[in-house]
Amino acid sequence: MTEITRRALAAAPMALAASQVLAAPKPVAPPAPVAPPSPWPDATGLAAAIKRGDLSAAEAVETAIRRAEALQGTLNIIVNSDFDRALDRAKAGPTGPFAGVPFLVKDLVDYKGLPTRAGSMANRMAPPATEQAPNCDAFDRAGLIVLGKSATPEFGFLPTTEPVATGLTHNPWDLTRSSGGSSGGSAVAVAAGVVPAAHATDGGGSIRIPASHCGLFGLKPSRGRIDDFEDKNSITALGVEHVVTRSVRDSAALFALTEDHKPKASFPPIGLVTGPSKKRLRVGVMLANGMGHAPTPEVAAANDHAAKLVASLGHHVDYVRLPYDGDQFIHDFLLLWANGAAQIADRIARVAGRAPDETMMDPFSLGLVDMFRRTPRTALAPTLQRLQGDVTAYDTWFAAYQLDVVLSPVLSSGPPKLGEIGPLVPFDTLIARLIEYVGYTPIHNLAGAPAMSVPLYWTPEGLPIGTMFAARAGQERMLFELAYELEAAAPWAHRIPPVHV
């Protein structure tokens, strides 16, 4: 993907007649985003309450700690707590737009002072991190108080949070169901009311999947959009970082605080998006997954509900299909995934002095490693070439059909039962299930494009099913504006899962 280094600068006309200047209206500040109806304040609302003096930062953090302790045994949210340091920071008088708001960082990234175990037995003795990425620095500058690290599947490989190392993370809407992954711990903590927002990452759907399963808003940014110290120029750089939230305004505000502002940033910063746009969009609606198969009836109903809602808001809706061979794509993506597992296994082997076994890595992770080892070395280059072709097809798809956004399911089904796609399922059986289940989200990671899961539908059994809206790289502003409109038309923040604080 070509790096974009130019910044868009708006220049105001420098010569105006005095009469024009006098007649011109005074600049109007953008309206504050509206608080969605909810029994709990979102991060923006909680920060405002702390600033007003309704409660102190320490009281907000103490409340979140009590909630975490009350639900940890039931939901398994936090894998490494940092409560004492969090309270010390809260009592020290934090500053910033989110001063005193409790927060979690996903245990796939480094946060100073806490070990990064990545849901793996291989990292159980990991020392505390001494560095962290710029976006985590931004969280600290914003005044967010990190309570600890949230649960994740091993190395983020699976779309469910069930690692052998730390156990099952349960969905608060139904304790027998998956919370999704790989940002499962973060999503559950927000859905159950422990914290109003939490850090998340997405390498193949890992923000959007748990957001869908837990009834949250989750936007995956474009590759290179969020400030980081890693190279994000290659299609093999799949992972991006952001948050999961209950409100659109929280997601938009944290996006503005963490997007890359450096001179060579991949995209011009969009700043804080505060509300919907009047522009009507051309929306392509897609139902079949990457294998060309229809999702479950409940997902189809959710997709139809979302399409009708979008049309009722005046947007133009067309029905579309994938512009590439979805069957080949998903197998190629799996090989790329397996390549990542093999690289991790090699690093573990260098430290341990031997190849990792089931005392170090989950069976599914080892299966990915074996899958890559059995693949001829000559297969990777043509795989990457095909994937690059898929990215080109994705980009040209929008122009060819004059699309602004593509609406689709996030997954082929609602939250599966725990154990159905967990790491202990026999490898070949699990791969077949994953190919059918996760057929919508990975293309956006390859294309470096933004996509969001919006909680617009609940099944008759009370389970949330998100709808995905995706765009071309760099189009987060348009997605946030659409999300604000959807949130106002079909609010969701008032919905509370049966297991909550």
Q: What is the pLDDT at residue 273?
A: 98
Q: What is the pLDDT at residue 1?
A: 34
Q: What is the pLDDT at residue 94?
A: 97
The yes-or-no answer on residue 278 being catalytic is: no
Closest CA relative to residue 192, chosen from 76, 49, 61, 50 = 76
Q: What is the pLDDT at residue 291?
A: 87
Closest CA relative to residue 178, chosen from 148, 144, 201, 212 = 212
Return d(Cα 60, Cα 46) in angstroms, integer: 8
Q: What is the pLDDT at residue 17?
A: 27
Contact at 8 Å (CB) between 64 and 194?
Answer: yes
> Rounded to whole angstroms, what are the CA distances from 48 to 151, 236, 275, 294, 494?
29, 40, 19, 45, 19
Q: Which of 38, 81, 120, 182 is catalytic?
A: 182
Side-chain-side CA neighbours of residue 494 (13 Å): 6
Name the CATH topology of 37-489.
Amidase signature (AS) enzymes (3.90.1300)
Q: Which of 178, 179, 206, 453 is catalytic?
A: 206
Q: Which of 81, 106, 183, 365 is catalytic?
A: 106
Return the exposure string of 229-238: e unless at least 16 CB atoms fall within 10 Å of the residue's CB, then b.
eeebeebebb
The yes-or-no answer on residue 112 being catalytic is: no
Q: What is the pLDDT at residue 12?
A: 26
Q: What is the pLDDT at residue 231?
A: 61
Q: What is the pLDDT at residue 23?
A: 31
Q: What is the pLDDT at residue 229?
A: 66
Query: Would you tell me how many other CB atoms lie within 10 Å of the CB of residue 17?
Result: 8
Q: Give per-10-residue mean pLDDT for the chain (501 aa).
A: 28 26 36 75 97 98 98 98 98 97 98 98 97 96 98 98 98 98 98 98 98 98 88 81 98 98 94 97 96 95 98 97 92 96 98 97 98 96 96 95 97 98 98 96 96 98 98 98 97 96 85
The yes-or-no answer on residue 277 being catalytic is: no
Q: Is 341 exposed, middle or buried (0-12, 13-18, 19+ CB in 10 A)?
A: buried
